[in-house]
Amino acid sequence: MSAVVALEGVHKSFGALKVLDGVSFEVAAGEVVAIIGRSGSGKSTALRCINRLERIEAGRITVCGHAVHDPKLPARALRLDVGIVFQAYNLFPHLTIEENICLAPSVVKRLPRREAQSIAARVLTQVGLAEKAQAYPEQLSGGQQQRAAIARSLAMEPKVMLLDEVTSALDPELTGEVLRVIEALAAGGMTLVMVTHEMGFARRVADRVLFMHQGRVHEQGEPEILDRPATPELAQFVGSVL
């Protein structure tokens, strides 16, 4: 299997703070990779570098054949292949859920209105929100908003989806509905890279777990590493979150 996402020795600092200190990993097509680690370990930054929301200082990132590290690469081509879902949903508050979903297909892909709407209907059904098409984001619960945000990303038919702590802003009783949607995506063969604090979920859904520590991938492997950590850092981390 060829890598859909590949990071090689990626470095990134915010001012004097070194956030990524030589991060390398690969994600194969259809693979589900969970990135775990303490806050400040660089996991969200690594994710954001993959679709160039953050620029890297050194190293190489290749995503679906796009050389992300090359400043001359047009961002549009990259982002057509990579979807991202954020912790805080970031739906557009002035648009209905349907308009949120139709915006990129109509504006970026120039699809006719009718076609964009039928895509919206399909992805909303997929996340179980078909009846909320005409609602505004503020009228939905957090879990519904996050599912709508996933639908919005799906509407662009990305080859890879990046999920940045998508359940962290939710009340515990609302995380389940979002995790089920992600599980269905994983089962459908979508390539997923997710930063998560849900260890149980990572264990159940991920093909591979990456543990980040001090700006590097400290340990990685099948979810079983959570039960039998090889490094004291991962053991300590697993101990602290369980």
Partner 1 sequence: MVSQLGLPHLQFLATGAMWTIALSLLALLGGGILGFALALCRVSPAQPVRLLSGLWVQLIQGTPLLVLMFLAYFGFPALGWRLSAFSAAGGALILYCSAYLAEIWRGCIEAVPRPQWEAAEGLALSRIQRMRHVVLPQAIRIAAPPTVGFMVQIVKNTSLASVVGFVELMRAGQIVNNSIFEPFAIYAIIAMAYFCLCWPLSLWSRRLEARHGGAARLAAAP
Q: Which residues have a Cβ under 8 Å from the Cβ of 172 and sit 6 or more positions away?
A: none
Residue closer to partner 1 by CB (options 2, 39) is 39
**Which residues 179-208 are close enough to bind partner 1 by CB under 8 A?**
none
Considering only residues 73, 88, 121, 199, which one is a binding residue for partner 1 as defined by CB under 8 A? 88
* 138 contacts partner 1 (rule: CB under 8 A): yes
β-pairing verdict for 160-164 and 191-195: parallel
**Residue 226 C-beta: closest distance to partner 1, Å:** 29
How distant, in Å, are the alpha carbons of 88, 150, 189, 205 from that of 49?
18, 19, 23, 23
**Distances in whole angstroms, Cα of residue 108 to Cα of each of 35, 104, 208:** 30, 5, 33
Q: Select from 238, 213, 233 the least CA-distant residue to 223.
A: 238
- Interface with partner 1: number of residues (CB under 8 A): 29
One-letter amino acid at 18 equals K
Nearer to partner 1, 138 or 173 (CB): 138
Q: Which is nearer to partner 1, 119 or 217 (CB)?
A: 119
**What whole-number distance in Å separates Cα of residue 91 and Cα of residue 212?**
29
Mark 43-62 with x for binding to partner 1 (rule: CB under 8 A) and - for no binding.
--------x-x---------
Site for partner 1 contains 173 (CB under 8 A): no
What are the start-end ranges of the H helices in the chain? Answer: 43-50, 75-81, 97-107, 113-126, 142-154, 172-187, 199-205, 232-241
Q: Which of 20, 104, 205, 217 binds partner 1 (CB under 8 A)?
A: 104
| Of the candidate residues 45, 47, 89, 208, the single one contacting partner 1 (CB under 8 A) | 89
Which range binds partner 1 by CB under 8 A, 5-13, 72-80, 182-190, 232-240? 72-80
Binding site for partner 1 (CB under 8 A): 51, 53, 75-76, 79-80, 82-84, 86, 88-94, 103-104, 107-108, 137-138, 142, 149, 152-153, 156, 169
